[in-house]
Structure 1
Amino acid sequence: NMIEDSEEDTHERYEVEILSKENRRIPAEMVVESIECRGEPGKLVIIRDLTREKQAEKELKDTQTFFEKIIDAIAEPVMVIENDFRVKLLNNAARELLPGNSETPFLCYKISHGRDTPCEGKEHPCPLVEVRNSGKPEVVEHVHQTNGKERYVEIVASPFFDSDGNFVGIIESMRDITERKHAEEAIKKYAKELEEVNRLKDTFLDIMHHDLLNPLGTAMGYLDLLMDTEDQEIKSELEVVNRNISRAIDLIESATRLSKLQSKNSLELEDINLREIVDRCIENFSYEASKAGMKIENRITQPISVKANKIIEEVFSNLISNAIKYASEGTKVIIEAEEKENSLRIKVKDFGKGIKDSSKQEIFERFRRKEKRSIKGSGLGLAIASRIVELHSGKIWVEDNPEGGAVFVVEIPKK
């Protein structure tokens, strides 16, 4: 029928299906052309098997469908943008993210930002231009408007080239980083507030150290004069005042010292003999120990060299002082050393009542003491000791003494 219906002087092409001898349908191309044969008009019909072509078309289409399904399966938005800013391909995630028309062809800057010109400038750098200039993958950040809401997007743009190595465009993968940006902004705000709090704290400590210590020192001077009295009742009351003023001075000095240590990130270290440090501490507290009926025994017999700062002496002074104050019923304090592969441990062992497990961590925190007796002290000593050890990249903790009491352990790296 197609042959009969074709017009004279024509050249027409049809795609048809024909039946083979095996009764199998075969796709074919039929070309009908008008001819004249022996003076009579006729038709020349050429039939060509299209099986291979159709199979190739099907494979190409299946490959494209498979590729599109892979792209759509990617959770992050993906776009392929050609060198002229036209979007060649985008996945479903990109269609959901971008506010513009998702029908191709369209321009990337139009669909992404509603602009009439390509993105530019530091605030909105164009990924295509950046990659074209560098020839390598680039990462930029953009702000997109989606459903009336501002969304921050991180774009990773990678170049792709044709078979001759010519740059033809980029492949963009986009990640919504809105939550991350909001978190960063919150951190910046918090850091600014914290900086202001620290400034106020430093101001307060400065006032406390200078403006309070001076009148307290003056008060102590007058108090010494007043205590030169024969009236024991008045003298007893003045001693209470003296203890409280001394406690206030100790608190101010300790708080200032701890604040300075907290603001430090490192210390200058030098070779120090810890045995000499411990010997000096024992000598400094020999009177207090004798008065409390205690004996301090140093079992460190050999020189111990470590990289440390001289301020480390304050750690052992504090531990020995605490043992005298809080464990005097034990009558003695033992100091010994233990060498590890990469560190040295100094142990200050008392034989007092010991420390409960629930308190072993909190005693190293500010204003925490095992007991609040009528003992001069700020409650900052162990917090200061802990910070000094921390600045030496070491550790400090307390264990139970098997013989009763507590063992404070200071561990410092050898190097």
Structure 2
Amino acid sequence: MGPQGQGGLTGECSLPETSEALDVLSEAVFILDDDHNIEGANRRFCEMLGLSREEVIGRKCYEVVHGTEAPPEWCPCEKTLAMKSPASATVKEPMLGDGEYLLTTIPFLGPSENVLCVVHTIKDVGAGAVSREEEREIAGLSLEIVERAPVGIIYLDRDLRIVYENPRMKEILGVPAGEESKAIGMDIRDVPSIGLAGMTERMAELSKGREIRGETRFTSIYGRESILRYVGLPISDAEGFGGALIVVEDVTEMRKAEEELKSSKGYLLNLIESMGDGVTTIGRDFIIRDVNRAVERMSGHTRDEMVGRHCYEVHHRRKSPCRPPVACALKEVLERKAPVTIEHLHYRKDGSPYPVEIVSTPVFDEKGEVSSVLEISRDITRRKETESKARQRMRELALLRDVNNALNRESPIEEVFEIITKGLTNYLGYDVSALYLIDPDREHVTLKAYSTDQRLVKKIEGLTGISVDGYRAPIIEGSIIHQIIEGREPVLTEDIAGVVKGNTENPLLKKMASKIAGLSGLRAGIGAPLISKDGVIGIIAVGSRKGLSEEDAQRLTTFGSSLALAIRKAHDTEELKRAYEMLERSDRLKNIFIDVMRHDLLNPVGIISGLTELLIEDEEEGERKDTLRMIRKNARRIGDMVYNAGILARLDSGDKPSFEERDLAEVIKEAMAEHAGRAAEKNMDLLFRAKGRHPVHANPLIHEVFTNIIGNAVKYGPEGSNVKIRIEDRRSLWRISICDRGPGIEDENKELVFDRFQRIERGPIKGTGLGLAIVKRVVELHQGRVWVEDNPGGGSIFIVELPKRGPKPA
């Protein structure tokens, strides 16, 4: 995803001020709207085409750059407009000049995710095989490379907090050996005395997705002073600005050397010879007047082979001065009469290219005219490799972040698979990607997702009559699929037809293998195992039309391990969802059963109880009346059981309970009234004294607490005994004690009595084991406590503590 519409990017796309603001950039840059119309362009772009700015503004980019009537198939701008994410392509384009060019497109998005504009850059990356070799060489980034990098590297997260500094960066900051940097975790804009004024003031630009470059005087939080040159590279993800990579180089010595050059000619000459950076003096006629030993080391030429020759002949292997799109520092210095810093590609004596950074400073004569130019050059090969590899690694991290975000959203697993394969093509630049998982039978792999040109897919389906979606490939012994799974190692191959032929039992596919390979245009492919804690679970496969290396294979395997963990997590989430759905269905069935039980059993039980009461009143004492009493007793027991089961179902439903103020004394009196009849039958007294109100925030179920405890006290208490109930004010709590004279409860059973269906023997009277379980659940619902103690006079004391203000919010 590109930068969001902020500041100057709200409503329409325009970089600060005008197109001329882009002229400071060494690369060719132009701005397009969402219909390929050029809205702005820098000087380098116009020089590259030999046109004026007025001649390109308003025209279609493909007409100007490619001389076509429509965008080419490989056009990165087409990908950017479709995917709303950066894209690139390396091409040969005669209209731009000789050699190969890297075309990069970056979208700028509005608040509603619409593309406001596209920033298009063009960079000469050398000729033919050389640039491709460089691309392969600098692809990927490992922690070891970052740790050994000769330049400082800082990673920022999306909030501009410093999350990582490599060892070289710690040296630049002056962090004592063995200590952690104090800046880790801090917002780079808030680090005290960080001194990066020139950089921190531009953090807003970086967070909008703009690359920043500059130089600043720096005083670290450890007191170290230096001069730093930096490049800030924004990293975009599906949510916009996802973080940044800042590459920092200490140029203190270079700058000191420049200053000292001004003070003493003799000291200057000695210094020039001892400098690690190259120093060259060039006349207005492009003739090299002198060089130091560093230039000899970098170029492979001797001083005698360079002095007296044209700089473009020595360093660029040209017969005339550099012209657009190749920048010429000497020309710019002569025009501006001011120092110029550019990045250039020089050639060694053996013909091999190497990137350099050149600071060109004018030397004035007594008339104030530029008589010559002093160039300080530095080989930045390793820095460029580090920057490129850092971009590659950050793209991998961005893809993993997109996958993780999808997992956190509990997205369907199919969506996770699609993010992975599209990310491999869009983020990492492969032309084809596919994800296969091993079937439960371990005899096939099934294609779960893929990303490539859909026109190619339709052609293959038309040729074979086989649908690509969900394709199942057999695991044939000796095949590449079998090698990857059994060997747990990646396989790199350039035999694309052999891959098709060797991994199928379909005669038609075997016959069409060469044609399918030709249609794909792939030069090489890699299959890497997806290894989780359960072993190999699948294969991630990629293909490229530019070729691949063993380094690509190892990097894909390492990356695949992270993807395997994500896929396993997605599978676990899917299984958890299914288990939860089954649990919900079981819970619904349970609730239906309880509702049926309550409605269909309570009614007949109530009828039985009522009729039995009438029969008992009319019956004479004797065996028949005793039988009726037994019927009434068991009917009540069934009714209590059904009622209690319904209460527990309500407590287990997960519904959010409501609480309102009640008078606790009135609740207790209501519970006593329910059992007054049974108490009278046993000649028992229920004793409770309470003056005034006893307010408590409680759920209506609080009534069940005292109904069950008082009911048990009456049930288990001997005839003629009493039940004493007392309420005490304990500041924020009410403590209620219910004392009975029943058989008591053994110490080892005092906690068990509150467990569901746990009925402790308390004489000949039987219960369901649900009543006290309900008591405990309701009391805990109120964030209170309930327990039982021995009554000194015999029996038990049940104690309940309830917060007066009800439970605290979760």
- TM-score by shorter chain over 0.5: yes
CA separation of 1:340 and 1:221: change in aligned 2, threshold 3 A: closer
1:304 Cα shift?
A: 1.2
CA contact (8 A) 2:745 2:790 kept: no
- Is 1:306 the counterpart of 2:696? The answer is yes
For 1:213 and 1:290, the matched residues in 2 are separated by 25
2:302 maps to which residue?
30
- Structure number with greater CO (CA < 8 Å, separation at least 6) is 1
Q: Secondary structure at the match of 2:432?
A: helix
1:195 Cα shift?
A: 2.3
CA separation of 1:316 and 1:57: change in aligned 2, threshold 3 A: same
For 2:678 and 2:399, the matched residues in 1 are separated by 81
For 1:151 and 1:342, the matched residues in 2 are separated by 62
Bigger shift: 249-258 or 348-357?
348-357
CA contact (8 A) 1:394 1:410 kept: no
2:801 maps to which residue?
410
2:432 maps to which residue?
110
For 1:240 and 1:338, the matched residues in 2 are separated by 39
Q: CA RMSD in A?
A: 5.2
For 2:719 and 2:614, the matched residues in 1 are separated by 35
1:150 Cα shift?
A: 5.4
1:61 maps to which residue?
382
Q: Secondary structure at the match of 2:702?
A: helix
CA separation of 1:288 and 1:244: change in aligned 2, threshold 3 A: closer
Write the letter of the residue equivalent to 1:199: R
Bigger shift: 296-305 or 271-280?
296-305
- Is 1:185 the counterpart of 2:457? The answer is no
Q: Secondary structure at the match of 1:379?
A: coil
Superposition map of 1:263-274 within 5 A: 263=653, 265-274=655-664
Write the letter of the residue equivalent to 1:281: A
1:115 Cα shift?
A: 1.9
1:251 Cα shift?
A: 1.8
CA separation of 1:226 and 1:109: change in aligned 2, threshold 3 A: farther
1:225 Cα shift?
A: 6.4
1:186 Cα shift?
A: 2.1
Q: Secondary structure at the match of 1:347?
A: strand
1:338 Cα shift?
A: 3.8
Point out the structure with max Rg over C-alpha: 1
For 1:99 and 1:273, the matched residues in 2 are separated by 64
CA separation of 1:80 and 1:200: change in aligned 2, threshold 3 A: closer
CA contact (8 A) 1:289 1:295 kept: yes
Superposition map of 1:391-402 within 5 A: 391=781, 393-401=782-790
2:591 to 197, 202, 207: 202
1:188 Cα shift?
A: 1.8
2:508 maps to which residue?
none
> Deviation per CA, 1:165-219, whole angstroms, max 9, x where unpaired?
xxxxxxxxx7642233223222221222122222322332233233333444444
2:756 maps to which residue?
366
TM-score where L is the length of structure 2:
0.33
TM-score where L is the length of structure 1:
0.58
For 2:392 and 2:719, the matched residues in 1 are separated by 77
CA separation of 1:192 and 1:278: change in aligned 2, threshold 3 A: same
For 1:67 and 1:338, the matched residues in 2 are separated by 75
For 1:268 and 1:44, the matched residues in 2 are separated by 94
1:289 Cα shift?
A: 4.2
For 2:772 and 2:399, the matched residues in 1 are separated by 62
Q: Secondary structure at the match of 2:712?
A: helix
Q: Secondary structure at the match of 2:765?
A: coil
1:99 Cα shift?
A: 9.2
1:134 maps to which residue?
none
1:326 to 716, 731, 735: 716
Q: Secondary structure at the match of 1:29?
A: coil
CA separation of 1:402 and 1:203: change in aligned 2, threshold 3 A: closer
Bigger shift: 263-272 or 283-292?
283-292
Aligned residues: percent identity? Answer: 28
For 2:305 and 2:377, the matched residues in 1 are separated by 27
Q: Secondary structure at the match of 1:306?
A: strand
- Is 1:78 the counterpart of 2:397? The answer is yes
CA contact (8 A) 1:209 1:256 kept: yes
- Is 1:389 the counterpart of 2:779? The answer is yes
Write the letter of the residue equivalent to 2:798: V
Write the letter of the residue equivalent to 1:312: I
Q: Secondary structure at the match of 1:182?
A: helix
- Is 1:379 the counterpart of 2:769? The answer is yes
Write the letter of the residue equivalent to 2:572: A
> Deviation per CA, 1:73-98, whole angstroms, max 9, x where unpaired?
x9x953699xxxxxxxxxxxxxxxx8
CA separation of 1:109 and 1:374: change in aligned 2, threshold 3 A: farther
For 1:80 and 1:253, the matched residues in 2 are separated by 56
CA separation of 1:259 and 1:32: change in aligned 2, threshold 3 A: same
For 2:600 and 2:298, the matched residues in 1 are separated by 104
CA separation of 1:303 and 1:64: change in aligned 2, threshold 3 A: same
> Deviation per CA, 1:47-66, whole angstroms, max 9, x where unpaired?
x9x9x9999438x6279569
For 1:261 and 1:396, the matched residues in 2 are separated by 17
CA contact (8 A) 1:250 1:377 kept: no
CA contact (8 A) 1:330 1:350 kept: no
CA contact (8 A) 1:31 1:45 kept: no
Write the letter of the residue equivalent to 2:573: E
CA contact (8 A) 2:735 2:799 kept: no
For 2:421 and 2:596, the matched residues in 1 are separated by 58
